[in-house]
Amino acid sequence: MASPKLRTAVDHILRHLPKPGNHKQLPLVVGLCGPQGSGKTTLTRQLVTTLQGSPYNLNVVSFSVDDLYLPFERQCEVASSNPKNRLLQYRGNAGTHDLDLGQLTFERLLKSHDQYVRKHIADPVPIPQYNKASRNGRGDQEPLSNWPKVSPPYDIILFEGWMLGFKALPEQELRNIYARSPANSHVRKFNIEEIIPVNDYLRSWSLQVYSYLDVFIHIDTEDIDFVYDWRWEQEEHMRSVANNRNIGLTSEEVKDFVDRFMPAYELYLPRLRNTNLFVDLPEPNRSIKTQPWGRHLRLLIDKNRNMLSSTLVDGKSNL
């Protein structure tokens, strides 16, 4: 039986889907965001299985923000160019993704679909793949020959990621938030000079990524510090599956790893919780050609990842 979370997400997507089988319409692009360990990747897999199965029988493509991480050599260049910035030494934050590749992938998918509609034939599209285990855990992009290919027509494109929907703050506002943040906050674990470049990198996301989204689903949590426990659970699960207690991260390493993501949650979640993602996206954007209202769904979950509530985020706050 489908969970309330899955049923709510499916209903939200279908509400905005053009008449099924009408491939003259562009595919519906769905963004899905959630903290690390919140179950966003699991929900994405469940959505693909459900929507591809009976009675919907839709053609669904999915990929992740994680698939857009910079290749190893370029990530090393980012780290060496920012030697004092702990937020950019490893993959994860804005500034460590290949947004040009993301934009190219969306364009290829849409062009392939359009070509199929006009000519009933089109080349398959390669979907980026990233191997986090490569380079002794530093990660690297898979060779192009290993990228899976998908063929049109497409009904739905699912794109998921932990920071999807986060928007850059004006620099002075960022400095003000930093200055008034408590000394024990996650933001204050880092220098403002470390945070500003990440915020600047985030500016490109609205134009190069968010401009393709039609519908948005945000998995939110009662307490963002749950991420620490969720990440530790993942390490324990990996050790259990491998039957090897000597692999994976220690508790201190998990804390250090998660610490580098926490400033982004503190800075950007308040707006995402209160402001419709689509109300102020720059051109070009397909979604703003219709009303943005009703497109941004927030699913609140507890520590066990059970859904507590669902809300349409239709406001435009001053946060």
Q: What is the three-class DSSP state of 255?
A: helix
Q: What is the CA radius of gyration of the chain?
A: 20
Residue 174 lies in a domain: yes
Which residues share a beta bridge with 296? 216
Dihedral sign computed on CA atoms, order 110, 63, 75, 206: positive
Mean pLDDT of 28-35: 96
Least confident range from 59-68, 69-78, 148-157, 250-259: namely 250-259
Question: What is the spatial distance between Cα 234 and Cα 289, in angstroms, rounded to a whole number?
Answer: 41
Mean pLDDT of 254-275: 95
Residue 262 lies in a domain: yes
Per-residue confidence (pLDDT) for residue 319, from 0 to 100: 36
Reported confidence tier of residue 271, pLDDT bands at 50, 70, 90:
very high
Question: What is the spatial distance between Cα 144 and Cα 128, in angstroms, rounded to a whole number?
Answer: 8
Per-residue confidence (pLDDT) for residue 285, from 0 to 100: 53
Dihedral sign computed on CA atoms, order 156, 109, 32, 1: positive
Residue 100 lies in a domain: yes
What is the CATH classification number for the domain harbouring 85?
3.40.50.300
Per-residue confidence (pLDDT) for residue 116, from 0 to 100: 94
Residue 96 lies in a domain: yes
Residue type for position 280: D
Per-residue confidence (pLDDT) for residue 136, from 0 to 100: 80
Reported confidence tier of residue 133, pLDDT bands at 50, 70, 90:
confident
Is it the case that residue 288 has pLDDT exceeding 50?
no
Question: What is the spatial distance between Cα 192 and Cα 17, in angstroms, rounded to a whole number?
Answer: 42
Q: Which two tokens stand for residue 145?
A: 């020959």
Looking at per-residue pLDDT, the higher value among 292 and 140 belongs to: 140
| Count of C-beta atoms within a 10 Å radius of residue 61 | 22
Q: How many domains are there within the chain?
A: 1
Place of tokens 């049923």: 7
Which residues share a beta bridge with 311? 298
The two most distant CA atoms of the chain are separated, in Å, by 61
What global pTM score does this model have?
0.93
Per-residue confidence (pLDDT) for residue 198, from 0 to 100: 98
Residue 10 lies in a domain: yes
Reported confidence tier of residue 86, pLDDT bands at 50, 70, 90:
very high
Per-residue confidence (pLDDT) for residue 67, from 0 to 100: 97
> Mean pLDDT for the chain?
92
What is the domain extent for residue 45?
4-312
Nearest to 9 by CA among 35, 61, 46: 46
Pairing of strands 60-64, 156-161: parallel
pLDDT single digits (tens) 206-260: 889 999 999 999 999 999 999 999 989 988 887 788 888 877 778 888 899 899 9
Least confident range from 148-157, 172-181, 274-283, 310-319: namely 310-319
Mean pLDDT of 64-89: 97
**Residues 199, 271 contacting (CB under 8 angstroms):** no
Percentage of residues of the chain with pLDDT beyond 70: 94
Q: Which two tokens stand for residue 236?
A: 């324990």
Per-residue confidence (pLDDT) for residue 129, from 0 to 100: 97
Residue 265 lies in a domain: yes
Question: What is the spatial distance between Cα 212 and Cα 154, in angstroms, rounded to a whole number?
Answer: 15
Rounded to a whole number, what is the distance in angstroms from the first to the last CA of the chain?
39
Residue 18 lies in a domain: yes
| Count of C-beta atoms within a 10 Å radius of residue 82 | 17
Q: Which two tokens stand for residue 32?
A: 């899905």
Per-residue confidence (pLDDT) for residue 237, from 0 to 100: 81
Is it the case that residue 48 has pLDDT exceeding 60?
yes
Least confident range from 23-37, 69-83, 103-117: namely 23-37
Is it the case that residue 19 has pLDDT exceeding 80?
no
Per-residue confidence (pLDDT) for residue 171, from 0 to 100: 97
Residues composing the chain: 319
Residue 319 lies in a domain: no
Q: Which two tokens stand for residue 204?
A: 């490109």
Per-residue confidence (pLDDT) for residue 282, from 0 to 100: 65
Per-residue confidence (pLDDT) for residue 318, from 0 to 100: 38
